[in-house]
Amino acid sequence: MKDLTTLLADVDDHVRVALDVPPAEIDRGDYLDVTQLPTEPRTWHKLSDTLAVLADMKNSTKLGKNKSTVATASIYDAATGGVVHVFSDFEADYIAVQGDGALALFWGSRRYERAVCAGITIKTFSADSLVPRLEKKWPDIAMTGLKVGIGNSPLLVRRIGNPRWGAPEPVWAGHAVNYAAKAAQQASRHQMIVTAGVWNWISGNEYLTLPCPCLAPIPPIWMDATIFRLPEGDPDRSGKLLLREWCPVHGPGYCAAVLAGQSARPDAGGRARAPAILARKRFERRWRRAVRPVPGAPPGPAE
């Protein structure tokens, strides 16, 4: 180490430059290969609209109670391993493992489709597979399960880190990651909460908004969920909470249809269309008042 005075002067100098000199920004639109991200200093790469999906375990700090370190490690392995597997199957453009969960980012073509279907699949994995297995093995386990949050926004990225420990990690700046984390924090186990920006896209898709024929009498499958951890007045705060998992009978077909870019369900007769259009108009008015670009606007989910 240098002497302490020099070290503190160096980091102070770094702060001064970082705050006084605006960093360079390269607009990448909808395309970026993170593995090829250059490491030049103070240059950020901008993605126009990106979805962040965050999944982590409820009560993760209590999971290790009365258990060996190996048992706790295997719980993390089961949860994180499953989440990462789902994210890669839905072709996430970036995945970061975070302890008992993971963050995935989706940009470019069919980003809304891939991100939302991945989120529902993780919710289904949590309720139908992960937690039943954990509870069978450890009947005294703390109440747990995966919580999912999804947000969207433009993002800036650059690599920051110490090359001594391998390639510096990408650091992401922008609302999406933070908002997905706040939405996930608010969720309970097996729940998925999306911000209003993400709901604006989902609301136009009958495969995602209408219950399948197995569910009768027809209940709502989403409910309003104000994301209290987001600032008041932020249009993204009026989120939605998904109440159902993929149906074992209809889920595979619906998921495939969404990923193929379909939004009109042949058996729905346009039932979700009119209310969705009205809701979208309301949403876009609110968004414009907040002077933010309307998410999902072209280039958008309809591509």
Q: What is the 3-state secondary structure (H, E, C) of 243-297?
A: CCCCCCCCHHHHHHHHHCCCCCCCCCCCCCHHHHHHHHHHHHHHHHHCCCCCCCC
Torsion 28-298-89-180 (CA) sign: positive
Site string for Zn ion, 145-184 (x = CB under 5 A): ----------------------------------------
The one segment of 13-21, 78-86, 170-178, 205-213 that binds Zn ion by CB under 5 A: 205-213
- Please identify which residue in 214, 268, 277, 297 interacts with Zn ion, judged by CB under 5 A: 214
Q: Could you please report the per-residue DSSP string of 142-195?
A: PS--EEEEEEEEEEEEEEES-GGGSSPEEEEESHHHHHHHHHHHH--TT-EEE-
CB of 210 to Zn ion, least distance (A): 11
Q: Does 255 bind Zn ion (CB under 5 A)?
A: no
Q: Which is nearer to Zn ion, 127 or 227 (CB)?
A: 127
Q: Does 73 bind Zn ion (CB under 5 A)?
A: no
Q: Which is nearer to Zn ion, 253 or 270 (CB)?
A: 253
Cβ-Cβ contacts under 8 Å for 62 (sequence gap 6 or more) = 142, 144
Q: How many residues bind Zn ion (CB under 5 A)?
A: 5
CB of 215 to Zn ion, least distance (A): 7
Q: Does 17 bind Zn ion (CB under 5 A)?
A: no
Q: Please state, in angstroms and rounded to a whole number, the distance separating the CA atoms of residues 240 and 200.
A: 10
Q: Which is nearer to Zn ion, 128 or 135 (CB)?
A: 128
* Residues linked to residue 26 through DSSP beta bridges, in sequence order: 45
| C-alpha dihedral, 227 to 233 to 234 to 239, nearest 10° | 30
Contact between residue 292 and residue 197 where contact means Cβ atoms under 8 Å apart: no
CB of 214 to Zn ion, least distance (A): 3
Q: Does 247 bind Zn ion (CB under 5 A)?
A: yes
Q: Which of 298, 112, 261 is nearest to 194 (CA)?
A: 112
* Residue 142: both structure tokens together: 């703390």
Q: 146-160 and 192-194 as β-strands: parallel, antiparallel, unpaired?
A: parallel
- Please identify which residue in 110, 189, 250, 286 interacts with Zn ion, judged by CB under 5 A: 250
The one segment of 70-78, 120-128, 204-212, 221-229 that binds Zn ion by CB under 5 A: 204-212
- Please identify which residue in 183, 212, 258, 294 interacts with Zn ion, judged by CB under 5 A: 212
Q: Which is nearer to Zn ion, 67 or 250 (CB)?
A: 250
Q: Which is nearer to Zn ion, 52 or 212 (CB)?
A: 212
CB of 68 to Zn ion, least distance (A): 40
3-state secondary structure of 135: helix
- Please identify which residue in 9, 26, 249, 278 interacts with Zn ion, judged by CB under 5 A: 249
Q: Please state, in angstroms and rounded to a whole number, the distance separating the CA atoms of residues 42 and 272.
A: 46
Q: Which is nearer to Zn ion, 23 or 252 (CB)?
A: 252
Q: Please state, in angstroms and rounded to a whole number, the distance separating the CA atoms of residues 90 and 255.
A: 11
Q: Which is nearer to Zn ion, 29 or 219 (CB)?
A: 219
Residues of this chain that bind Zn ion (CB under 5 A): 212, 214, 247, 249-250
